[in-house]
Amino acid sequence: MKIAFIGLGNMGGGMAANLVKAGHEVNAFDLSEEALATARDNGCTPFTDAAEAVMGVEAVVTMLPNGQIVKSVYEGSVIGKAPDGAVFVDCSTIDVATARDVIIRSIDAGYDMVDAPVSGGIAAANGGTLTFMVGGTDTAFRRAEAVLNAMGKAVIHAGDAGAGQTAKICNNMLLAISMIGTAEAMKMAEKLGLDPQKFYEISSQSSGYCWSLNAYTPMPGVGVESPADKDYQGGFATGLMLKDLRLAMEAAQTADASIPLGRHAGELYEQFAKDNAGLDFSAIIKTL
Ligand code: NAD
């Protein structure tokens, strides 16, 4: 299939390369010359104009920093420029309202479109093992799935337009809360004189079992190997977690949802990100 890929950063670079590996012909566009050069090395055809990159393609995939940029790229360079009937797949993490708005505008212009944010970081993007949570009609989902399969291990239809973004921010809010809870419990066990490794062995097989403890232990030298063992380098950056928490708080307000713990987690990450935005989000244990 001929696909245009816009946004070849930390995530999009590897994703576009995986589309090429799967046999697709990929037109690549990014504002960064360096990202475009890497895309060319990975077998993509580089373009210096997004509207030219989408000409003649069957699908457009975007992986961009925020909702404002997604809206301006679709309105300025994709809608009305890509061939009639093409399918659009936005994999960026953005606010639910903008995701729905861009999908409605695309459908009105005769295209199919889904929001398809991802779970999994740069390693999963490079390795083709992302999980995609997809919002859109059944037809749009089926068409997007054919493209997404080349970049991920799971592609899940979450519901109508915007449902992918909803799943993503609710999941990441839960992750932030559970990471802070795990960190608090581990530090408290230590302060009370319990060997943290013993606490890990017990709690990871008891009702404290959760992904933050079992698969991403935030204390160095304890539990499974994780970013904590590499000085909190790599992994999922605190700045990106804060971005997702802000989106969650915004969405909660529009839906009148009560999120006292989500809000508190947001405040703690807001504070922590001031000097530590580049560290893995599990480094929040250092504040305890
Ligand atoms: P990034 O900043 O590395 O990449 C974004 C790319 O978009 C950059 O190369 C930038 O030059 C390009 N860009 C910006 N404006 C553009 C425009 N108008 N036209 C074309 N290109 C433009 O970010 P990333 O880490 O790759 O994240 C991308 C998206 O994926 C974000 O929405 C992020 O929240 C989400 N995400 C990231 C991770 C992660 O671990 N990095 C994990 C899950 C989801």
pLDDT in tens, 208-244: 999 999 999 999 999 999 999 999 998 899 999 999 9
Answer for the pair 114, 134: CB distance below 8 angstroms, yes or no.
yes
Distance 217 CA to ligand 1 centre (A): 27
Q: What is the mean pLDDT of residues 138-164?
A: 98
The model's confidence at residue 120, banded by pLDDT at 50, 70 and 90, is confident
Q: Provide the pLDDT for residue 204.
A: 98
Q: Which atom of ligand 1 is nearest to the CA of 69?
A: 18
The reply to whether ligand 1 has any atom less than 6 angstroms from the CB of 133 is no
Catalytic residues: 168
Contact partners, residue 239, CB within 8 Å, separation at least 6: 273, 277, 278
Report the amino acid identity of residue 55: M
Q: What is the mean pLDDT of residues 168-187?
A: 98
Mutate to test the pocket of ligand 1, among 8, 11, 241, 245 (most ligand atoms within 8 A of CB): 11
Residue % of the chain over a pLDDT of 90: 98
CA distance 170 to 252: 10
The reply to whether ligand 1 has any atom less than 6 angstroms from the CB of 80 is no
Is pLDDT at 45 greater than 90 in this prediction? yes
Domains by residue range for the chain, with CATH:
2-160 (3.40.50.720), 166-287 (1.10.1040.10)
Structure tokens at 49: 């104009």
CA distance 120 to 197: 26
Q: Provide the pLDDT for residue 235.
A: 86
State pLDDT tens for residues 7-16: 999 999 999 9
Q: What is the dihedral of CA 30, 281, 234, 44, to 10 degrees?
A: -20
The model's confidence at residue 44, banded by pLDDT at 50, 70 and 90, is very high
Distance 36 CA to ligand 1 centre (A): 13
CA distance 101 to 198: 50
Q: Provide the pLDDT for residue 195.
A: 98
Average pLDDT over the chain reads: 97
Mutate to test the pocket of ligand 1, among 63, 133, 247 (most ligand atoms within 8 A of CB): 63
